[in-house]
Structure 1
Amino acid sequence: MPNRRILSLWFPRLGAERLIRRDPALAEVPFATVTETGNAQSLAALSVAASRAGLYPGQPLRDAHAACADLLTRIANPHREAAFLGSLHRWAGKFSPWVAREAPDALVIDLTGCAHLFGGEVGLLAQVEQDCADLGLSVRAGIADTLGAAWALARHGGARAGSHRSGDAVDQEARATRSRAGKRRHWERGGAAPALLAPPGPDVTRIAAPGKTYGALAPLPVAALRLDAETVEALSRLGLRRIEDLAGQPRAALARRFGTGLVARLDQAMGAAPEPVAPAAPPEHFSIRLTLPDPIGLEADLMAGLDRMLPPLCDKLRRRGRGARRVRLEAYRTDQSMEWALVSLARATRDPDRLRPLLAMKVAEIDAGFGIDMLRLDVVGHEPVHAAQPAGHLEAGRAVSERMRADTALEDLIGRLGARLGLEAITRRHPASSHIPEKGALTLAAAWSEAAMPWPDVARGRPLRLWRPEPVHAPDAPDPPRTFRWRGRDMSARAATGPERIAPEWWLDEPDWRSGQRDYWWVETDRGERLWLFYAHGGALSSGWFCHGTAG
């Protein structure tokens, strides 16, 4: 069996070059996409001209404008970038059927047994670079025996690790050497060395020969092992800046100081630990778009567009036996930006009449800007929906139909409330398998749970409202008190029903149950209240009477 060979493709300028493909004029000026993190904006993907101007990803936008006044920016669109990466995923299938995505800007291809179809790995790499150049994309590739090694060569191939402190910095030189620093060439003072003309063809240093993984990775920086920035900085302070420095250290000491993740990444890169390439099957995608001849901005025009888009979208779902659970409305404006709104449903549906009211609630929130020239409905979450038809005699069929209509009305109500408050805020109570009153019910999201009817018999005798046990001033005796004081009020008992004895869970230590077993009583007071009192027989805490809830 041939050696396993992995190709890693990294598109470092994916977000920017996606927009440059649509508007080639953006390539003539420094251009970058911008992402928002909290209240701050930073650069996400840069064009070649922006990188030459000294800008870098993650740089704050205000600093970038200060360094490059000609910088042109656009808001990053993660949804469209993910869709574009999906298109590249289909393109990469020409090299191997085993292709997986590495969000947000990379692909992984298992080339085992496929490279000879393209004239070997060098020829395949040349074909990849030629295809990407024809598509207007920048790509960096790496081929190795393991996924970790291919990832490292694609991003750090040809790099050499240096110190975290520049020994050639002027501030660290002796005075005599510093006086002559101005006479040296700029790259000898720490600047970038002059670019050399690279030979035509692919960079063969990014290809690790079979069985030569260690030799290819040894001179690379430790960041090539897919480590977080804190771990890389800590290793650099210890003098472990290259992978060969790290590979020679005892594994137990590394794991004890930096965790098992560091050792696992090293083993994956060297092939000592498995890391399979597992491409997911292409998911079913349901979407529809409406391109408008003239920009629109009125809410009525948006609703008219939805009325034209919903029926064909639901027909697609019906033919595949699916129902929409989450639908995203995307409104593309004339300034190349996009507004979007997401609606969720309590149950999957393919009925336009159930989707339209939820989308109508979100249309008012969309800012049309200078006008909207394209609408798109994208089903981002869908589930199988099976057709149900009542069977049996006439009365039974009618009863089932009424029950189905009642369930649909409740689900529509949950969906409308969830569109304003969020589906997670709509909850319902479910019985739990515990005799302890505080644990007798669970709070679940109504959209992802079914109504539990009927409740167990033990739950029917429990109060509607529960709180932490509150002390009741009454004689310390197990019989229900005739008079007692609770919450600063004197009360008299007119009737008492019980007792219901409940013992604590001996395998758990609950602070409220350290008073031992309890005898619960329903007590009707002269004030018209119906209280749930219990007498604690005593254990780690003293015995006495407490109030745990009320009937209303």
Structure 2
Amino acid sequence: MRLWIGLSLPRLPLEVFSPSWCTDAGSVVLEQERVLAMSGMARAAGVQPGMRRGGVLMLMPEAQVHERSPQREAEALFAVAMAMLQYTPQVAEAEEGTLLMDVGASLRLFGGVLALCRRVRANVRALGFTVSLGCAPTARGAWLLARAGGRARGQRTVKMPSLVRRLDLLDLLLAPPARSFAAWFEGIGCASFGELRRLPRPGLQRRCGRALLDLVDAAYGLSPELHEWIAAPEAFGARLELFDRIDDAELLLAGARRLLLQLTGWLCARQLAVERIVLKLEHERGRVARPPTCVEVALAEPAWRDEHLVRLLKERLAKLVLEAPVIGLGLEAQQLQPMAPLNESLFPEPGGTEEDRMRMLELLVSRLGAENVLQALPMADYRPEQANMWVPVQQKLSDRARNAQMPPDVMSLPRPTWLLAKPIALLMRDHRPFYGSPLRMASNAERIEAGWWNGPQTRDYFIAEGQDHALYWVYRERIGADDMEPRWYLHGLFG
């Protein structure tokens, strides 16, 4: 199924200076000293398109006036294209701040046309831009529907007959080649594409040239379309200049998410996953310049979805105290790995996938700190308190470390369910150890004698039973020359 999504950014000249998620500060964009775009606050103050700078400042002295920046617009459009690469590798740039996406092969993966359009719209809004979408079986048709915006009665169509009916109703001046002939078309009463198609083709070509007819043929599926796809660069690096000095780390999340969306698209396009990202917080330059503050996020398993990365980064930023205001953000991807294929098991595990468990651990590490989320590492040692050690859960363990060469007979020996962190000295009553009640030895002695190199230990371990039939793991230290009677300790409890 052939289907295209057109993305039009109608407020791009304004939103490169004042993103949609920023507070309206009365921004105005000029082109050749005349107003090209203005924010809602400026419009409410009386600013109109075509007005000169002096008139703007007279109506709104506090207005933030900017000269149009084609370079910023190109960078912003490329950032949106990078984010869209997570949905399809076939993304092309078109005229007047628009993008075209061939999504025919992606519909099933993302749940159909409506679900995909919702995701695309949400991503573009998260990037800070107002977007108008159009869906059609042809790229130029999707472009026209997206450019029409609210003027089109329907901006999504998947069948060619429906597209023809909708295109026939669109304003002819949406086509750039038709605008230079606007007066002539008005004079002959031709205002829509449907009326244009009823005009004699040879005469129309002599009057308006070939470009207009080529655009119409492409939109109606009468001629092939060629596109130059946007390619993801070899290495990822993204930067965002903030529009104000930020003193609160949590306020940086909106800008950081914009960079993470670009990273997600780049990872999907390159079929990679990332194990570590670094968000650089740039501070003011000059005599009081400070080096960037680096916020690292390490992942237990490689990831490529922005939702998970945003959650982890949000936890890190919530605990960060800024030493200086932030004026810019930069994002780097480190420790890249090939993207693992999706595991679509016929019988999924009821407790969730391994990926879900690793994401939960990563979230705990972000909230509690790496030093507070630990995993057990077995050690080849007979001494119970030395048989394992605790290491950070995100520490990479080799197979040799995970499968320590334990003594061959240690697995057959009885071990308690709960090993106490520190043995408890037991009282002696009638020459028997006492713990709530006199303890009766229910097993033969197991001697553990080890550690001559770092604290020698010689103990005789027993399974002891109390009067309530609870089982305990106790040991008796070897009697030394100066000891009159043995010392007993409780070291564990059986389930």
Higher relative contact order (CA 8 A, sep 6+): 2
TM range (shorter): 0.3 to 0.5
TM-score (norm 1): 0.40
